[in-house]
Structures are given as structure tokens and as C-alpha cells.
Structure 1
Amino acid sequence: MAHLEPLDRESLPQFADRFERYDRIRGFLPNSILTMSRRPAIAEAFMQLNQAILYEGTVPEALKMMVAYMSSSAAGCRYCQAHMANLSSVYGVSDEKLQAMWYFEESDLFPESEKAALRLALNAGGVPNTADESHFDELKKHFSEAEIVEIVASIALFGYLNRWNDTMATAMEDVPQKLAERAIGPAGWQVGKHAASARQPKENEDNG
């Protein structure tokens, strides 16, 4: 059950343009943002960072979404796994590839460049962090230093989100839950504490 209910988006008119972008790309507005918006400066800073990391630069968006999915899987955040499986799908990653993600080393679905990025995400996303020089040696075969910064930034961004959503038990939205059940459910994903029942608002609860 979510520890804090998301705010009503209509109470946050200053973010209307940003919220419309979420609707346009993802098909829904994340409850994580609506919860975070109790401190608008934090939500604003996060959304700016999210934009700069995931949607700007020269690393393909699909790869950054897969990197975020892998690091979230290593961290164990089911909310972020579902969200990044959904965004990976939006950017053209097949269900077959998503289901094979945990076994990317043995899969022919992933080129060596993607394997290098996913290997770093797997090792950097867990606790303790086991990323080392060998991971960067492999990355440098495929990516510029600026692109490596994008990849590491994608992992680090989800270090924040994994902690946020796993701690808050953020309620899962319908769109990512349905995608996750279809695409990564066969690989073992379950909604867990982010279940739909947690999305139901309590009567007379003060959401402000």
C-alpha cells in the first residue's frame, strides 16, 4: 500500500506542460511525480534532470531505457522495472528482448555494445556496487566518453527513483502494469507492494 497518495494533477497547474509530455510519451502520468510534487521544487528539479538524461544526447533512447530497466532490476524496484519495461517498449524494444534481459550475456538479441552497457547497469545497480575498470574498458570500445556519461547518468537517475518508489511503495498505474504483466511477467515480475489496491484513495483523506 502506498505510504502517500498522489496529488490530483489539477492541483499542479504549473506543471501542465510537463505532465502533457508524460501523457504523450508514456500514455499516463506517473504517481511518483504526483507524490513528489508535494515539494514542487524537488519535482521540478527531477523532471529537468530526467529530461536531460533520458531524452537528450547521442545514446539511443531505447538503450538508455534498457539500462534503466536493468539497473532497477538489480536494485529490486518493481515499480521502476515496470515503468522502464513500458518505456523500452515505447522506444521499440520487443517483449522477447525484455524477457531475455536478465540473460543478455547468452542472448543473440543484444549486440556487444548493448551488452557492455547492460553489464555496467547490472553491476552498478546493486548494493554493493560492483562496477569496475573492466566494465569501462568494454564501454570504451563502443561509446564516446560523453556517451558513457549518459549511460552512467541513466543508472544514477534510477538510483534515486529506485529508492524513492521502493520506499514510498508508489502505487502502480494501469499502463505500465499491463505491459509488465505481458512482457516481463513471464520472466518473474510481480507487482508486489505496488498493487492496484494501493491506488484506491481513502475517503476523506487529506491529499494536500
Structure 2
Amino acid sequence: MLAKLKKKLGHNPRLKQQVLHLLVHPVKTRPRRWLRLLQPFYLKRSKGSIIYGNVRKDLVPFNAFQLGAYSVIESFSTINNMVGAVIIGNHSRIGLSNTVIGPVTIGNQVNLAQNIVISGLNHNYRDITQPISKQGVTTIPVTIEDDVWIGANAVILAGITIGKHAVVAAGTVVTCNVPPYSVCAGNPGRIVRQYDFEQKTWIKPVR
């Protein structure tokens, strides 16, 4: 039913704008108070999951939000699914003051340190006669696979995939995909180490 409604709204921009205005404050750009009161009824949370009380939950019912079993979203973080789903797996931790803007999928056993930005959203900038804020957005999903560690102050850009058991060093700006079993560091991020299963050791990639 929700899919049919979204399809109908997609064919009627005026109606879509009216519904959006009803759900989201146009200046604060966050769900209206009455909708936030209903979040316990439409947010999908599994056993043992924790969202601290001072997390900013910019979460609406027309895009998915899922928090897996025993996963934690720590204080002062912002989680936003208004332009794309946010899916978080089991036993994962979203650290202090993180910002996660969908579409983003985070796997199991993922650890995010502090002040990380992960965003599947980019603002359009094509028409130089119009303010950027009036030109809409483009979304490309971010995928963080299982057993990933991301250090403090990292930035993960739209469209990025971080492979299983990878590490992103503190302060890294990730602009390209990170292979599984590798370490990414720097600005822009580059692969500085990768596990070689034949040699059974970590090696520096050949450039």
C-alpha cells in the first residue's frame, strides 16, 4: 500500500509537496512534532537495540529505518532517512556525534567512532541562476559491509562501498570504494594496506 502511495505521489508533484509539508517542517527540515511522537510505531528495532534519548531521529515512515539486534546509536548522533532508507545490522555501534543520511546500509559488527559523516545525498548544482538549495538532491546508496571499523572524523561520500573487514583510518575522506580486508587512509583516501590470503599477511599495495 505504501509503495502504491509513493508511486501516486511521484506522478503528482503538487500533492507530493502538500504531503511532505504535512510531515516535515519546511524550515527545520525535520519531521513535525506529531510525527516524531509516532516514531515508536513505525521504526523497526530488534531485540536489545539502543537509541540514546538525545539522538536526533529525522526518521519518516515513507522510507525504511531498521536497527538490528544489540546495535547502539550513541548520544548526539543524527540519523536521517528522509531521502533514503537507513538500515543498520546486528551488533553494530554508531558512535558519538555521527551523522548518517540515507540511503545507507550498514552491516553486522560494524563500529563507527566519533564525528563521522556518512551520506548518500548530494545537492545538485547545475543552474547557476538558482540557489543550490532550490535545485534538489541526488542520492546514491552507501554500503558498509560486515565487520568494518571507521575511525573518528572520517567522511564517507555518496555511492561508496566499504568491503568486509576493512578499516578506514581517522580523518579519512573516502572518495572511492574500499576493498574487503584493506586499510584506507588519507584525504582523499587511498588503500595503504591489504591482506594477502596466499601469503597470509598484510601487504602494501603496488602502485
TM-score higher than 0.5 here? Answer: no
State the TM-score, normalized to the length of structure 2. Answer: 0.27
State the TM-score, normalized to the length of structure 1. Answer: 0.27
Greater radius of gyration (CA):
2
Higher normalized strand content (fraction of residues): 2
**Larger RCO, structure (CA 8 Å, separation 6 or more):** 1
Higher normalized helix content (fraction of residues): 1
